[in-house]
Structures are given as structure tokens and as C-alpha cells.
């Protein structure tokens, strides 16, 4: 192909502009009809139908949730990933695309992610049809379920989503960033996240005679205080560690000391060694409180999610694509990683990849935080996200880069 790079980039931008009304329509359909993690079958069918209208067949993910679609080109692929599950919270917005399902809404922008990823591959298809790409771009679209439960990426990998994939790119809506801008960061972008479950077994009895037993609630109170006091002081202050207890369950009556208590929470770190060290320190604290209180305490870690570590070379593609599309002044470096988790990390355990933050707020809309019942976005962000993903996919397949 003979077109200069700016020619193909301009064509991509013009195609995205043509597709923008469709992207808004897709995003609003998803927002009206959200499905919680592991239940995304209608969402999957809808997205598969939109692909089929464009002449692309897809295969569903495990249990009919999520999908994988490929270009017709052979060769190692660049994957574009979006997620499709919603949160179990009530949508409190007063807009015509408000969620129609009580207690479920897209409060984390996964409707945006899916629309941008779909828009990027539709753009690449149309650009190829117009013979407007500078070289072949074998792509794969991964629209995954169950990101919020940290199970979707693993399930899609086990279903073969990364077979033949060389690199993977993605985005995440960012309500702290203005529409028209993006944020990037080399290295750690989000934290690892482990579920923490602690079972405390004492001996129940009368509330008036606590000396006759071992009170698991007293042990739980001591343990929580010890965790919050000593975990942050066990590691270098430059190595962030966040342990939060989000659930305490024990007892049924105000005048009865129960026989057991359970605690659940999360443990978040950026460094793998700190992650292992934190787990060991938590075990030591549980043993110490058990000896002091006379209760038996067991701690378990489950659902481990690695940190998102952006690959430098892939992140350079995103940065170049974003600067060329938006102007350097609208591409900002993210100074510190987030201590939130993101199961995009499940793909990065296998192939190089990177994720960028997409600005979705404006003066009129989009300022509510993620996971808020009022969360919404300025929909001009959809075209921006699709442009950056499509441009980066083309750059990923540059033959000179792959020599």
C-alpha cells in the first residue's frame, strides 16, 4: 500500500466520525439493558448481532457470556479488549437511557469500553475495505464478561482468547479527566487485589459471663485494629499496601456471645514481593491475636488478581496514537498508580499489553465517580476512545516494528 501514515490516520478519524452515532446508540442500548457479572448473555447476543451486521462472525465466551471475533487476515494478532458486565447498584439518573433493570447499572463505564472496542474494529474493517491501511492489520476483538468479579479475563484466556495474539490494548473510562484527553502510565497502572477471608472460632455463652468462653467478636476487634495499625508499618512507605475489611458477620442476639465471627476484605499491593510479604504478615497477626484471645483464627486468600503492569513498548503505541489524534497537550502522564484492581491484568500475565485512561467528563456531564449510582459520561468520549484504539492497532502491526 502506498498511502502515507497521515493519510491512513485521517481516514480512520473520518470513519470514526461517520460511526459516532452508531457508537452512541450502542452505548445507550447497553446502558439501558445492563447485566451483572456472569449473566451477560443478552449483552453478548446484542454485540454479536452488531458484528454480524458488519459481516463479522464471532464465537461466544464460556457459558454464552462474552465473545471473541477475528479479522479475516492471517498472522499474529493485536487484540482489542472491552468488558461488558454491570454493577449491582441502582441507577439514579434521570436520562432516557437510564437502566431498565432494578438494582443493576453500568456504573463503571463498561458500556463505554465495549462501544469503543467495537467501534475500533468496525473502523479497521471499513478502512481495509477502502484500501486505506498502510499494511495488513490482523486484529482480535475480545469483549469479556465478569470483570467486576475478577473472573472474566481468566475465563476468556482459558477459552483461547489469546491464542495467536501478540499484543493487547484496552482503555478505561476516567471521570476525573476531561473529555478530549487521555492519561497514560508506564509500568504499574493498578494494584494487585486479593480477597481476604478470616474465620474466628471462639466459644459462645451468656453476655453477662464472657470469662466463661472465648469471645470471637473481641478477637475480631483486636485483629482489625492490629491489621490497620501494623500492616502499613511493616513495609517501606514507598511500597503502598492497602488492607480493608468490608464485611463483619457474627451473632444473632444482643445478649449472647456468639461462637464464631467472619471477616472479609481486600488486600492491594503494587509489588509482587510486598504482596507475598503482606500475606505472611497477616498470618502472623492472626496467630498473635489467636494466642492472646484463645480463639482459633484461620485466614485465606482467594481470587488473586495481578497488578496491571503496562508494557513500555505497547504503551508507546498508545501514547503515539493518542498524541497524533488528540494533540500532545491532551495526553497526560498519570503520576501514581491506582490501588484499584482491574482484571485486564489477567491477559498481561500471558502477552504484552497496555491500558490507557479515557477522559469522560465535561462541565455538563460525567463528573460523578466510578461506581456511583449517578455515574454517566460525555458521549463524545466514545469516538475518541475508538480513534486511539484503532490507530494504536495499526501501529502495532507496522512491519518495521516487528522485524
Mean pLDDT of all residues in 329-337: 97
Using one digit for the tens of pLDDT, what is the confidence trace for 102-149?
A: 999 999 999 999 999 999 999 999 999 999 999 999 999 999 999 999
**Nearest in space to 73 (alpha carbons), one of 135, 156, 10:** 135
The model carries a pTM of 0.91
Question: Is 267 in the same domain as 211?
Answer: yes
Q: Tell which of 273, 305, 337 closes a domain.
A: 305
Residue 391 inside a domain? The answer is yes
Residue 68 inside a domain? The answer is yes
Q: What is the pLDDT of residue 6?
A: 61
Residue 170 inside a domain? The answer is yes
Residue 184 burial by Cβ neighbours in a 10 Å radius (0-12, 13-18, 19+): buried
In this predicted structure, the answer to whether residue 93 has a pLDDT above a threshold of 90 is yes
Question: Is 248 in the same domain as 328?
Answer: no
Q: What is the pLDDT of residue 3?
A: 47
Q: What is the pLDDT of residue 1?
A: 38
Question: Is 286 in the same domain as 313?
Answer: no
Band (237; pLDDT cuts 50, 70, 90): confident
**Nearest in space to 265 (alpha carbons), one of 250, 291, 244, 282:** 244
Question: Is 63 in the same domain as 112?
Answer: yes
Using one digit for the tens of pLDDT, what is the confidence trace for 31-58?
A: 999 999 999 999 999 999 999 999 999 9
Question: Is 293 in the same domain as 312?
Answer: no
Domain that holds residue 196: 192-305
Domain of 159: which CATH number? 3.40.630.10
Question: Is 135 in the same domain as 67?
Answer: yes
Percent residues over pLDDT 90 in the chain: 92
Residue 402 inside a domain? The answer is no
Which residues neighbour 153 within 8 Å (Cβ) at sequence distance 6 or greater? 144, 147, 343, 344, 345, 346, 347
Residue 23 inside a domain? The answer is yes
What 280-289 contacts at long range (C-beta under 8 Å, 24+ apart), as own/partner pairs, is 281/230, 281/231, 281/234, 282/196, 282/227, 282/231, 282/243, 285/223, 285/226, 285/227, 285/230, 285/231, 286/198, 286/223, 288/226, 289/219, 289/222, 289/223, 289/226
Contact of 332 with 183, CB cutoff 8 Å: yes
Domain count, the chain: 2
Mean pLDDT of all residues in 68-80: 97
Residue 403 inside a domain? The answer is no
Question: Is 159 in the same domain as 55?
Answer: yes
Q: What is the pLDDT of residue 281?
A: 97
Mean pLDDT of all residues in 343-357: 97
Question: Is 260 in the same domain as 364?
Answer: no
Band (303; pLDDT cuts 50, 70, 90): confident
Distances (CA, A) of 400 to 75, 76, 132, 170, 397: 15, 15, 18, 23, 9
Question: Is 36 in the same domain as 156?
Answer: yes
Average pLDDT, the chain: 95
Q: What is the pLDDT of residue 213?
A: 83
Question: Is 216 in the same domain as 177?
Answer: no
Question: Is 198 in the same domain as 345?
Answer: no
Band (403; pLDDT cuts 50, 70, 90): low
Q: Tell which of 242, 271, 305 closes a domain.
A: 305
Band (206; pLDDT cuts 50, 70, 90): confident
Band (375; pLDDT cuts 50, 70, 90): very high
Mean pLDDT of all residues in 147-169: 96
Mean pLDDT of all residues in 157-184: 98
Residue 401 inside a domain? The answer is no
Q: Tell which of 305, 323, 354 closes a domain.
A: 305
Question: Is 43 in the same domain as 164?
Answer: yes
Which residues neighbour 370 within 8 Å (Cβ) at sequence distance 6 or greater? 107, 108, 109, 173, 175
- 165 strand-pairing partners: 77
Domain of 209: which CATH number? 3.30.70.360
Amino acid at each position: 500500500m502506498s498511502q502515507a501514515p497521515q493519510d491512513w490516520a485521517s481516514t480512520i478519524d473520518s470513519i470514526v466520525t461517520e460511526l459516532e452515532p452508531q457508537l452512541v446508540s450502542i452505548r445507550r442500548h447497553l446502558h439501558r439493558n445492563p447485566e451483572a457479572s456472569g449473566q451477560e448473555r443478552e449483552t453478548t447476543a446484542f454485540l454479536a448481532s452488531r458484528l454480524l451486521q458488519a459481516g463479522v462472525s464471532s464465537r461466544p465466551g464460556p457459558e454464552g457470556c462474552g465473545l471473541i471475533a477475528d479479522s479475516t487476515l492471517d498472522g499474529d494478532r493485536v487484540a482489542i479488549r472491552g468488558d461488558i458486565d454491570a454493577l449491582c447498584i441502582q441507577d439514579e439518573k434521570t436520562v432516557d437511557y437510564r437502566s431498565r433493570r432494578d438494582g443493576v447499572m453500568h456504573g463503571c463505564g463498561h458500556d463505554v469500553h465495549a462501544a469503543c472496542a467495537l467501534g475500533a474494529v468496525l473502523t479497521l474493517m471499513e478502512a481495509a475495505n477502502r484500501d486505506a491501511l498502510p499494511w495488513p492489520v490482523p486484529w482480535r476483538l475480545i469483549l469479556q464478561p465478569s470483570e467486576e468479579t475478577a473472573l472474566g479475563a481468566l475465563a476468556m484466556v482459558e477459552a483461547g482468547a489469546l491464542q495467536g495474539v501478540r499484543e493487547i490494548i484496552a482503555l478505561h473510562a476516567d471521570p476525573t479527566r476531561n473529555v478530549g484527553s487521555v492519561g497514560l502510565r508506564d509500568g504499574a497502572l493498578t494494584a494487585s487485589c486479593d480477597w481476604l477471608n478470616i474465620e474466628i472460632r471462639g466459644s459462645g455463652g451468656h453476655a453477662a459471663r464472657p470469662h466463661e468462653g472465648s469471645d470471637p467478636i473481641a478477637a475480631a476487634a483486636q485483629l482489625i485494629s492490629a491489621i490497620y495499625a501494623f500492616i502499613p508499618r511493616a513495609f517501606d512507605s514507598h511500597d503502598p499496601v492497602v488492607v480493608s475489611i468490608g464485611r463483619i458477620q457474627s451473632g444473632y442476639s444482643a445478649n449472647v456471645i456468639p461462637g464464631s465471627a467472619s471477616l472479609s476484605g481486600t488486600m492491594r499491593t503494587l509489588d509482587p514481593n510486598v504482596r507475598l510479604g503482606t500475606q505472611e504478615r497477616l498470618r502472623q497477626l492472626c496467630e498473635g491475636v489467636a494466642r492472646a484471645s484463645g480463639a482459633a483464627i484461620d485466614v485465606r486468600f482467594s481470587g488473586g488478581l495481578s497488578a496491571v503492569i503496562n508494557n513500555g513498548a505497547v504503551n508507546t503505541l498508545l501514547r503515539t496514537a493518542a498524541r497524533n489524534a488528540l494533540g500532545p497537550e491532551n495526553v497526560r502522564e498519570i503520576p501514581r498508580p491506582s490501588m484499584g484492581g482491574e482484571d485486564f491484568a489477567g491477559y498481561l500475565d500471558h502477552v504484552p499489553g497496555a491500558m490507557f485512561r479515557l477522559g469522560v467528563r465535561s462541565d455538563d456531564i460525567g463528573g460523578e465517580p466510578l461506581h456511583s449510582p449517578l455515574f454517566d459520561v460525555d458521549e463524545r468520549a466514545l469516538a475518541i476512545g475508538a480513534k486511539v484504539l484503532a490507530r494504536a492497532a495499526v501501529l502495532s502491526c507496522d512491519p518495521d516494528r516487528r522485524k
